[in-house]
Structure 1
């Protein structure tokens, strides 16, 4: 830390830091759950930075909270700011998107600092939430704290509801929804339910409108079913993106990956169905779109509820829309390590 820092650390203690009973007694809390899952296995922290009691040396000793706030922030940044926070890096994420490419090049955050005491938890979590990019899982609305915000939209069918985890994992604490600044999501075929048409649907709904099943050609039936599927796609994708957190000052950075944005059948890429007024609501200062083909960029246009027409030009001016190509730089490149072999590899 240098000579000046050592002098500060050697000052006599004037303040104590009481451990948080709430955190210590609740190992399943969002803070601990996140600490044990982000970017791999359980992280560790250098106890020299967390000296809230008597250190190993008999004297002199110091209290961490006696350090200037600016110096504490520097220590927090060293421990919890790693560039990107990955929750999943399975084969689907790697093979059907670009968000997890190079995940092994980012270090793991040392989040056990959250468990020291409430004040340190509050200070360190703010640094953690505002300075990292959170690469959310494909089906992130099924995780806490988002599930508590979407209970009215849950599927009522028993078979479908059984797919939801009994105890959804925390991606971060509920209070973090107002603080997180940088998020990466995907628009993915995996997020879609494939309903199709049952016998009762054909006989009670569709036959009165388009005719009996056996009197339609295969192409007529396919076109009709496909149109119905796209109606469901629009509802599901828009419900998904409307679940994004909306901090009071908006997001600083939003990355959206459309690499696997196929319809449930896989015959088309209806990207326009996922583009809408949610962009206006989230109001990112920088919107990076990846995984789109050149002729798909024209689909980024919509009309909001007030009748305002948003074109690509307006989205670029107001929300920093960029169609990022492979190899183009991002704000997170500086955190990539040069020797990834010592971190971890894809299982």
Structure 2
């Protein structure tokens, strides 16, 4: 008999827990209950904890229902959908019209590939809780997968009517409308969304990406970045995105000014942005002796990431010119210790053989 490793782990965990079966009043039992109901820990641990509590407790139907649903969700996390469906079904025996159990069983049905049962369960969940954003969202995604675009759009719009900030709903609706109606339909809805939901980040982020990738309307992209900076203050939308846009349209003076401010503030706040590159250069403490500081690193990498390898290369050349052979040796040594393959031509003074390894081509 072949037993899946995940299932075997659950069996082992259950056996281990049963050696010292906790009493209902003990602290261990309380911890297991918390692990089960809170879905804390790995799926195998949660399933085993739930099984021990279910077997050892004379719980009320309401509590039993909660335990079954928690174990069902742990089974779903572990992709054991048959077991999850069984737990949700047993929970529904106790409370036949429980909206959450019905919805979660629909999700498990669909994950298992039983489309017909999933559709029936989704419709039942919505009949029980017509204003449930969770039910509306998952049913809309189901409709989208099944090619029922109009139903998907209607469901997603209902979600946003109830909760404009519902995670993922706005982005999914934007993409669904684009697939269904193309640029014109997309633009029409996006304009409507900007007026109706001016304080939702997904609206302005969609505008930013749309104008940068498709329309080339950089003024609107800058306006979207300003709105995003208002809603989510920080370097990304205050400096990073505006710098990228100004450099893209050829406004180098403004772009370089923003890049310099970005680099300076990254250092001041010691942010994790560009951390991979920072790790390379922080090993080269000799830079301090050479009179260099980390601002050069951030300015160089920022220019590269903003799509201006010419300006980034200029920064690199300036660094090598200022530091001479010692600077080149330090740079090459750090790159190679970091696992980057650098052609030997770079040792002889070729900047062209450095830039591809620094990801600015």
- In the superposition, the TM-score normalised over structure 1's length comes to 0.25
Higher helix share: 2
Determine which structure has greater relative contact order: mean sequence separation of CA pairs < 8 Å that are 6+ residues apart, divided by chain length: 1
Larger Rg: 2
- In the superposition, the TM-score normalised over structure 2's length comes to 0.24
